Amino acid sequence: MHKLTETREALGTLAYLDERTKLEQIEVEGKNTVIFHKDYESRHLFNIEMFVRDIEKGSKGGFTVEVTRYGRVKIHELHLGKQYYRLLNGWLEHYSDLYVYSARVNVFYDVCKEHGMIGEYPFSFGEPNELVEVEGMQYMELFDVLVEQIHVRCQSREFKERERLRRENAERNKKNVLAMEDAMFSEDTGRSRWLILSLTLRYEPEFRDGITVELLQRHRDRFFAAKRFNTLMSGIKGYVWAIEQGEKTGLHLHVVLFYSADHNHDEFIAQKIGEYWVDSVTEGKGGYWNSNAEWRKQFYEKRGHGIGVGQINWNDAEKRDALRKNLTYLAKAEQYVMVKETENIRTFDMGRVPKKVRAGRPRAVPGMPESENRSVA
């Protein structure tokens, strides 16, 4: 049951990232059409996670060989072979030494490195019964060797400790981001209404190869530092951000912004903030996707995910629930998609809850007499 829950959670996290950040509306023959950007997927990391987890839980081998009574050789696929063997070459192609992967993904790539599958000369798995030139064995035998060595590593104390820390970190992130959301709407520390903006801050194709984590970090810091001196950016009173990498499109930054509710044109403001990222922060190298666009809201509502952006009042349970889901997904995303970190680089964080300055209009509770309503900023 725990494995099933964790699998669904991982699928949910990646599906969220797909639908929130990889959709774009374009005009085709005079009609608006929604397209999906597959290049932003990191689904191969999830598949590797599942592969190693199946091995960790006891699955062994990929194939069995049967010699019939007439001397014919028949190859039967076992679970690992049927589910994952055809994916191996794609996993090897997507490896990058720029990133530090999750514990399970790292185990897979480390074992592949030891067999010379990752390096100067690319390795490719052929048909299971074909011979590997260098190894002198069949590809399906080499696959079984990988499975056995991955299983051994998964039993190590180092691996189990890393997995434990990863789960703890994800739960801590989730707890902290939900506490932050609660404080932003709290009667004691927050405001009764916010304009919630959600953007993906990315880079244009011709610049992506030159974008390092350190450069993205500098751009991120410049982006948020502008709250102190730029009129547009000063409306940002709280924020959550997460760094992600795409399979082919490199590094990008997801941000959820708590913007002053003195303004209510959320799509326009998010657009202007995206343009600020492009023109001022990245000096023309950047791009952005605006999750506050009206067509996106309609898409999220049709899919049953809720609209966690735009103007949200403290007592709007439906929108706040959608907002909390968005924040939770960002908090958990780094479990499955990680970038290389140093002591000075994080892949997920949030701003502090701003100090409450003054009281605002009364916070009305539906169905309660006005005399009993509470006052809150």
The reported pLDDT for the residue numbered 373 is 47
* Stretch among 48-57, 95-104, 309-318 having the lowest mean pLDDT: 95-104
pLDDT band at residue 20, thresholds of 50, 70 and 90? low
Asked if residue 268 and residue 347 are part of one domain, the reply reads yes
Asked if residue 324 and residue 205 are part of one domain, the reply reads yes
Asked if residue 268 and residue 143 are part of one domain, the reply reads no
Choose among 6, 9, 10, 38: nearest CA to 22: 38
Asked if residue 198 and residue 107 are part of one domain, the reply reads no
In a domain, 14, yes or no: no
Give the total number of structural domains in the chain.
2
By DSSP bridging, strand 286-290 and strand 193-203 are antiparallel
Backbone conformation region of residue 284, classed left if phi is above 0, alpha if psi is from -120 to 50, else beta: left
Q: What is the mean pLDDT of the chain?
A: 82
Q: Read off the pLDDT of residues 328-338 as tens digits, 9 standing for 90 and up.
A: 888 876 555 55
Asked if residue 312 and residue 197 are part of one domain, the reply reads yes
Asked if residue 193 and residue 139 are part of one domain, the reply reads no
In a domain, 316, yes or no: yes
CA distance 281 to 297: 27
Backbone conformation region of residue 209, classed left if phi is above 0, alpha if psi is from -120 to 50, else beta: alpha
In a domain, 184, yes or no: no
Measured between alpha carbons, how far is residue 328 from residues 17, 246, 292, 308, 363 in Å?
11, 20, 18, 12, 26
The reported pLDDT for the residue numbered 339 is 54
Q: Read off the pLDDT of residues 176-229 as tens digits, 9 standing for 90 and up.
A: 999 999 999 999 999 999 999 999 999 998 998 888 888 999 999 999 999 999
Asked if residue 322 and residue 253 are part of one domain, the reply reads yes
One-letter amino acid of 79: H
Domain end, chosen from 136, 155, 174, is at 155
Cα 166 from chain centroid? 15
pLDDT band at residue 344, thresholds of 50, 70 and 90? low
Choose among 71, 173, 159: nearest CA to 111: 159
Contact, 362 vs 347, CB < 8 A? no
3-state secondary structure (DSSP) of residue 344: coil
Asked if residue 195 and residue 90 are part of one domain, the reply reads no
Q: Which residue has the tokens 């995206």?
A: 274
pLDDT band at residue 361, thresholds of 50, 70 and 90? low
Asked if residue 211 and residue 146 are part of one domain, the reply reads no
In a domain, 33, yes or no: no
Asked if residue 360 and residue 306 are part of one domain, the reply reads yes
The reported pLDDT for the residue numbered 252 is 86
The reported pLDDT for the residue numbered 69 is 75
Contact, 303 vs 19, CB < 8 A? yes
In a domain, 357, yes or no: yes
Tokens for 3, please give them. 């494995």
* Stretch among 45-49, 163-167, 340-344, 349-353 having the lowest mean pLDDT: 340-344
Domain end, chosen from 111, 134, 155, is at 155
The reported pLDDT for the residue numbered 16 is 56
Q: Read off the pLDDT of residues 34-74 as tens digits, 9 standing for 90 and up.
A: 444 444 456 787 789 889 999 998 888 899 988 877 778 78
Tell me the residue range of the domain where 268 lies: 189-375
Asked if residue 149 and residue 47 are part of one domain, the reply reads yes
pTM score: 0.75
